[in-house]
Amino acid sequence: AIVPVICALLAKKDFATASEKINSALDSVLIISIPAFLGFLFFGGEIARFLFPTVTSGDNESVVNMLMFVGSMNVLLISIVGLTSACLQCMNKLYAPALGMFLGCLAKIFISIVLVGYLGIVAGMIASLVCYLIVACINLRFLGAEINISFANAPVYMLASVAFVAVAYILRFFLSEMFGVFGTILAIGLAGGVYILLLWFFMLRTNKLFGQN
């Protein structure tokens, strides 16, 4: 969705506004992806059991838990890769994400071959994680050479996300006894409301949310 806006600004040589819009979009991505990453990290197994009860039964449960744990970081990385790739495309630097994906795929193939005999399907998830980490780093490197990328608000989003996880953990102990696995999902939803309130409080106190000054 941001591509037409950024392309129009760059066509007008309005680099300052384009930089502001990109950082605002990056803030939006982090606001959603950071709590999602922590949510899957700590509650991924229970979310999977709620959505796919037959798949996660028996011996498969430990494998699913490990896959969700390792793969949770990809929520954050894929979000960053998607945004930065779109921005680089607007700057006629599509070779940057292409280079990152090429190197990432090479690393993914190598890691899969080396680890699949030891870790099985989990090796594929680790390889995917490394792949997107490489792409994200390369994208940010090329994008940072063109504009001033700011992660100034990221610590606030992380602290609010930690509070979200803590509240969800506390609520889960009470709700899971009454509602089972659904209690965890309900706890996550209620804790999400706390996360939104914390962000709203931060916006009122600093007026810096979404790149505002």
Identify the pLDDT of residue 134.
Answer: 96
Identify the pLDDT of residue 58.
Answer: 63
One pLDDT digit (tens) per residue for the chain, 213 residues: 777 888 888 778 787 888 888 888 898 899 999 999 999 898 888 888 888 777 666 666 777 788 888 888 999 999 999 999 988 888 888 899 999 999 999 999 999 999 888 888 888 889 999 999 999 999 999 988 888 888 888 888 999 999 999 999 899 888 887 877 788 889 999 999 999 998 888 877 665 544 444
Record the tokens describing residue 93, joined without a space: 């630097």
Identify the pLDDT of residue 6.
Answer: 81
Of 191, 17, 169, 5, the residue nearest 86 (C-alpha): 5
Identify the pLDDT of residue 59.
Answer: 64
Distances (CA, A) of 143 to 18, 83, 85, 93, 138: 12, 11, 9, 9, 8
Compute the distance between CA of residue 208 and CA of residue 27 in angstroms, rounded to an integer. 10
Q: Is the dihedral of CA 120, 125, 158, 182 positive or negative?
A: negative
Identify the pLDDT of residue 7.
Answer: 81
Considering the entire predicted model, what is its pTM? Answer: 0.83
Compute the distance between CA of residue 163 and CA of residue 158 in angstroms, rounded to an integer. 9
